[in-house]
Amino acid sequence: MKILVTGGGGFIGSHLAGALLAAGHDVRVLDNFSTGKRDNLQALAGRLEMVEGDIRDAGAAAAAVRGREAVCHLAALPSVPRSFHDPFASFAVNAGGTVKVLEAARQAGVRRFVYSSSSSVYGDAEGETKSEEMEPQPLSPYAVSKLSGEAMCRLYSRVYGTETVCLRYFNVFGPRQDPQSEYAAVIPRFILAALGQGQATIHGDGRQTRDFTYVANVVQANLLALQASASAAGRVFNIACGEETDLLTLLAILGEFVGRKPAPIFVPARPGDVRRSRAQIGRAREILGYRPDVSLREGLRKTLEWSKQIADR
């Protein structure tokens, strides 16, 4: 299959591009490298087509989708905190950019469009687990921008017949996730602290929970979404492990692996942070055939090993 991966230079996108190539697909990547890194694609050089461009540019989007049968749309401006600092940029990229790629895909006759959404759209929706039937209660501009992208995907599926599949990722982690970013996710920051190269800063009391999901599980979900039957079109799927882990427990696991537990530093909670997050993944299991093969502990070991190798270079 001829596939476009937008945001292919990013943490998740580069893993997906590699997996698609390994599966025998023809892969083209579109990225402006504002948050993605060329180094993430270095090992794939010569095996994929690289297009440098911005999804907000309709011409760049049209050129990138030309001749493609499917699109995996991962390009976004990530981070809840970032979206509070610059909500306009989040909307311009995550909502506006998504519409540009969707329309380009429609005009090019793309059959399947897989959209990377976020569990942040749930906000603090009531219930012990987050199910796709819940009414989203977004708490940040980022969450609203991703929810807007979902709405446009469903619209394009219903009105234009483009087979869109929306995947809501829950707290993805793994190799290549940047720990140095001002908006770095908690696991790469905690790993640096466990390796004695940073502080384990916790916003709040550390009892907030997340459904941490290793990147290989997310890649698997994308591959399945590309091949799923037409019954998946126009639908939303949670992609996670179906488990919740609080931040203090996460820090303790990493401490167990390295033989030292970094002392947490508590600071005030941030706007937009949810208290509990755990996914129901039954719909993805039933319709996509999704199985989270890599557990939290196994994923942490893999990520920690990669981080040690990077630190030793």
Taking domain 2-170+215-241+278-293, whether its CATH number is 1.10.3720.10 is answered by no
The model's confidence at residue 51, banded by pLDDT at 50, 70 and 90, is very high
Answer whether 0.85 is exceeded by the pTM.
yes
User: What average pLDDT does this structure show over 216-240?
Assistant: 97
Instruction: List, for residues 256-288, the tens digit of each pLDDT value.
Output: 999 988 899 999 998 888 899 999 999 999 999
Instruction: List, for residues 125-156, the tens digit of each pLDDT value.
Output: 888 799 999 999 999 999 999 999 999 999 99
> 45, 48, 52: which is closest to 75 by C-alpha?
52
- The Cα-based distances of 158 to 20, 118, 235, 240, 253 in angstroms read 27, 22, 10, 26, 45
**Identity of the highest mean pLDDT range in 15-19, 198-202, 274-278:** 15-19
Write the single-letter amino acid at 44. Answer: L
Structure tokens at 154: 């469903």
Domain extents in the chain: 2-170+215-241+278-293
Is the C-alpha dihedral spanning 87, 92, 94, 95 positive or negative? positive
